[in-house]
Structures are given as structure tokens and as C-alpha cells.
Amino acid sequence: MISPLNAEIISQFQVSFETNCLSLFAEAYMYINGNLSITVDWEEENISANFFDYIDKSENTIGLNINISDEHRLYYQDILSGKTTAKTASRIDFRLTTNWTKVRHRFEFFIEAKNLIENDCFKKGRKSRLSAIKNHKRYISTGIDSFISNKYRQKGCLIGYVLEGTAINIVTKINSLLYLAGRSSEKLQKEICEIAVFSNYFTSVHNNELKLKHYLIEFSPTHVL
């Protein structure tokens, strides 16, 4: 049984662990943004693959004793009891873990990534436009709402890959959708992040208790047609 003192220490360690996880993503972002031309033509999974590959191989990841897995399956009780097929399990883009043997505790941090665009635009090999509003609705329905419903573990965050436009304008449009849905209290609000690379850092509060963190990272701009 964990004593109240250990519970407080574990909570402090969790905060430190999450900061380390985000620092690794910041490190990967700086490398990817400086070495690859990420545009609206990139698939979300391909961008995430580059983040995973960099972090998985980073000496800092090893030094911090952090493990990363991608496309991590989240099994719920009906799957474990055999009532539901494991094929129905949700997958979250990244799971980062570390162990603290002294208190026999495993720490986890989950990240879901989403492509984001500000305006309708074209993608190579596609005749129809990419819809910005569908993109923003998807960020809410399969990103924010997945954390609210506990479909995704709540010790986690959202990372938005901004492939066109600006983060601040995209957030304004997402907030407009939340307002129209009667969810204005859940709007994303800008805050200062201690990791300087994440200059577009936002938080939102849901069900009066869950505080969800959003890190929007901008890549090379594309032309709107």
C-alpha cells in the first residue's frame, strides 16, 4: 500500500517525467523541422513515424530511462475478459513509460497527434480539397473527446501538427466550433510553456476537472488554392 508521503512523491515524479517526455518531443521537433520539409502533403502517420524514430534512437531518451512505443493499443475490461474482440481496442499514437523500482511504480504518459490546417487546401494526388472545418471537428471528436470519455488515458496530451496556416488562427476556429456546440467553457486558452519550443501551448478544462494540454507545432507553410 502506498503511503500518503509516497503518493505525494509519486505525483511530483509524474510531473517531472511528463516534462522529460515533452522535452524529448521538443528535441525531435527541432530536428524534424530543420531537416525535413513537412507540408500538407504529409500523412499524419508519417510525421509521427519520424517523431518515434528520433525519440527511440535518442541518447537523451536512454539517459532519462524512458521507453516509447507507437500505435499503442488500449485494452479495456471487456477485451481482457474475452467479451469483445481485441481488434476493437483504441490505439493512441505514443505511449512513454519509465519505472521507479524504489516505490514499485510505472509511470505512463500518452500523446495523441493530429494534423491541422487553417484553410481548405489541396494535397498532391488528391482532386478534392482538404476541408479545414472537418479537420477541426476531427480534432475535437477523436482528440479532445477521446480524453474526456477516458477512451484515451487521461495522463496525456494532444499535439497538433500545423501543416498550413497558424496555430493561433486554428485554435480560434476550434473554439468557435466548441462555442456553437454549447461548449464554450471548454475553449482552448493560451498559456506559457516552460519548454520554449512550444510557444503555441494551450489548455482546456472539461467536466470541471479534466485539464487537457494542447501543443500545436508549426511546420513549413503551404499555399492555399
pLDDT per residue as tens digits for the range 144-198: 999 998 888 779 999 999 999 999 999 999 999 999 999 999 999 999 999 999 9
User: Alpha helix locations (H) across the chain?
Assistant: 4-35, 44-57, 59-63, 77-80, 132-139, 145-148, 167-180
What is the value of pTM for the model shown?
0.90
pLDDT per residue as tens digits for the range 97-113: 998 766 677 899 999 99
Cβ pair 96, 21 in contact under 8 A: yes
Q: How confident is the model at residue 225 (pLDDT cuts 50, 70, 90)?
A: very low
